[in-house]
Amino acid sequence: MTATVPRENDQLFFIDNEVIIVKVYPTFQLAKVRYLSSMDTFMVDFHVLQPYAEERSSLSISLLGGVL
């Protein structure tokens, strides 16, 4: 988990996908990012962004049912 505030155009990992920082909102601990292969942006808490890909396996709740 990154402890420092990222900067625009930094390339970091969101889980195991590389993203580019489009904009940072330090007061709100948020960053607007996009995947390298897409121009669509989305918001994340910048503490989730890491300099390396997440390798630990996790199971999405959508696989366990009860989700539309």
Compute how many residues bind another protein; rule: CB under 8 A: 34
Tell whether the torsion through CA atoms of 58, 15, 39 and 29 is positive or negative. Answer: positive
Task: Judge contact between 57 and 42, C-beta under 8 A.
Answer: no
Q: 12 with 28: CB under 8 angstroms?
A: no
From 6, 12, 14, 21, residue interacting with another protein (rule: CB under 8 A): 14
Judged by CB under 8 A, the residue of 11, 18, 28, 51 near another protein is: 28
Contact call for residue 38 and another protein (CB under 8 A): no
* 68 forms part of the interface with another protein (CB under 8 A): yes
